[in-house]
Amino acid sequence: MPEGDTVWRAARELNAALAGETITRCDIRVPKFATTDFSGRTVSGVVSRGKHLLIRIGPLDVAPVDEHAPDRAASGPEDGWLLHSHLKMEGLWHVYDRGQRWRRPAFKARCILETAAKQVVGFDLGFLRVLPQAEEDDAVGYLGPDLLGPDWDAAEALRRIESVPERPIGLALLDQRNLAGIGNVYRCEVCFLAGVHPLTPVAQVPNLPRIVDLSKRLLEANKLRSRRITTGNMRGDPLWVYNRETRGCLRCGTKVLHELVGDNALELRDLYYCPHCQPLPAT
């Protein structure tokens, strides 16, 4: 399940392959942007913003093949463009050498960018759009401080979480407007490590700064790992409670409970917790 650490690694890998390189082929397989062609433009960089990935594409290096084509991205703003993607549940980006066989079927590809040496392919992307770089803040500016970004601000994240004191901490952590990068796995594991029931109202959480700190530390510890680990056990069970409803809490063995929780019926997500290690406080 892609979370902030997964997207951070993807951006790092794509940036190494694309930054400073000229695009020689562009194939965006989303109907609205299918005629967009960034060929001849240089990638200025690739960055993550929480769970969002932004490929920044600069001005033309060479004249376009058809400079009168109205849908061609080359005829747009000269301060550059953005390829804005979100992996959702199943998306991923791969980097290949030119001519290397893909590890996913071609029909799942949603975006293909080629340079002289590399081929970057986005598969099963839950969200993909093209917009001018000038609109980057409009696209992702609503997000809270990025747990893995240069804008990380623990005090601001805490302020945002505390702004709705009656909201369950499990929902507050998952809200990207509070802090960007936490997904379903991390919110369950952070609450477990803090000994807090995920449905505890924010106002009743005994040490909220510690939860913010745990969130930051877990993503930092895992950002360079292909396997997400919250237990510290590199060879054994990697998680304390997430997806363990049939095996029990890794700490005490109590049956892990599973619920579907969200702000509304369209935002229900899996929630796992240990009722022994994370008792719900009296209201």
* Residue 64 contacts residue 74 (beta carbons within 8 Å): yes
Our answer to whether residue 223 is catalytic in this structure is no
Catalytic residue status for 2: yes
Catalytic residue among 12, 108, 255, 269: 269
| Active-site pick, 41, 51, 216, 244 | 51
Total Cβ atoms within 10 A of residue 194: 21
Number of Cβ atoms within 10 Å of the Cβ of 244: 18
Q: Is the dihedral angle over the CA atoms 267, 268, 274, 275 positive or is it negative?
A: positive
CA distance 156 to 179: 9
Number of other CB atoms surrounding residue 266 within 10 Å: 6
Is 56 a residue of the active site? no
Tokens 């650490």 map to which residue?
Answer: 5
Q: Which of 116, 127, 141 is nearest to 33 (CA)?
A: 127
Q: Is 31 a catalytic residue?
A: no
**Cα 13 to Cα 39, 58, 121, distances in angstroms:** 21, 19, 12
Token reading at 31: 């109907």
Given 3, 114, 118, 189, the catalytic residue: 3
Q: Within 13 A of 242's CA, how many CA atoms are on the CB side? A: 20
**Whole-angstrom distance, CA of residue 235 vs CA of residue 231:** 10
Catalytically active residues are 2-3, 51, 269
